[in-house]
Amino acid sequence: MSVKNKVKFNSDIIKVIVASIIFLISWILPKYSIILIVLSYVIISFKLFLEVIENISKGEIFDEKFLMVIATIGAFIIGEYAEGFAVMLLYQIGELLNDHAVDKSRDDIIKLMNLRSDTATLLIDGEEKIVNPNRVKIADLIIVKPGEKIPLDGVVVDGESSIDTSSITGESKPLTVKKDSKVISGTVNMRGALIIEVTSLYKDSTVSKILNLIEKSDTNKSKTEKFITKFAKVYTPTVVFLALMIFIIPSIITDDFATWGYRSLVFLVTSCPCALILSIPLAYFSGIGTCSRHGVLVKNSSSLDNILNINEIIFDKTGTITEGVFEVVKIKGNKMRAKDLLEIAAKCECYSIHPIANSIKERYGKEISTDDVKNYKVVDGGITVSIGPDNYLVGNYNLLKKNKIVFERTTDIGTIVYIAKNKEYLGYILINDKIKKNSKKMVTDLKKRGIRDLVVLSGDNEEIVKDVCRRVGISRYSSELMPQDKVTYIKEAKKEGIKVMFVGDGVNDAPALLLSDLGVSMGGIGSDASIEASDIVIMNDDLTKINRAIDIAKHTKSIVWQNITFVLSVKIIVLILAALGYSNILTAVFADVGVTLITILNTIRIFNKKY
User: Does residue 611 contact residue 551 with C-beta atoms inside 8 Å?
Assistant: yes
- DSSP conformation letters of 495-541: HTT--EEEEE-SSTTHHHHHHSSEEEEE-TTT-HHHHHH-SEEETT-
Q: ∠133-135-141 over CA atoms, to 5°?
A: 75
Instruction: For residue 123, give the H/E element and its range.
Output: strand 120-124
Distance, in Å, from the CA atom of 447 to the CA atom of 537, rounded to the nearest integer, reads 21
Q: ∠58-59-63 over CA atoms, to 5°?
A: 105
Question: Sign of the C-alpha dihedral, residues 271, 272, 273, 279?
Answer: negative
User: Does residue 421 contact residue 350 with C-beta atoms inside 8 Å?
Assistant: no
Dihedral angle, C-alpha 156, 162, 166, 168, nearest 10 °: 0
Which residue from 225, 219, 213 is spatially nearest to 280, judged by alpha carbons? 225
DSSP-based three-state secondary structure for 280: helix
Three-state SS sequence of 185-249: CCCEECCCCEEEEECCCHHHCHHHHHHHHHHCCCCCCCHHHHHHHHHHHHHHHHHHHHHHHHHHH
CA-atom Rg of the chain in angstroms: 34
Distance, in Å, from the CA atom of 175 to the CA atom of 214, rounded to the nearest integer, reads 25
Which residues, in sequence order, are bridge partners of residue 312? 500
DSSP-based three-state secondary structure for 374: strand
Which residue from 236, 250, 322 is spatially nearest to 64, judged by alpha carbons? 236
Q: ∠423-425-431 over CA atoms, to 5°?
A: 125
Question: Sign of the C-alpha dihedral, residues 96, 99, 102, 106?
Answer: negative
* Amino acid code (one letter) for 483: P
Q: What is the DSSP letter of 308?
A: G
Catalytic residues: 316
User: Does residue 601 contact residue 563 with C-beta atoms inside 8 Å?
Assistant: no
* Amino acid code (one letter) for 329: V
Q: Report the side by side order of strands in the sheet with 141-144.
A: 127-131, 120-124, 141-144, 194-198, 154-158, 182-183
Q: What are the residues whose beta carbons fall under 8 Å from the beta carbon of 289, sequence distance 6 or more?
A: 106, 109, 110, 112, 113, 214, 607
Distance, in Å, from the CA atom of 384 to the CA atom of 375, rounded to the nearest integer, reads 8
Q: What are the residues whose beta carbons fall under 8 Å from the beta carbon of 250, sequence distance 6 or more?
A: 256, 260
Which residues, in sequence order, are bridge partners of residue 127? 124
Q: Return the axis-axis angle of helices 439-448 and 545-580, rounded to nearest 10°.
A: 30
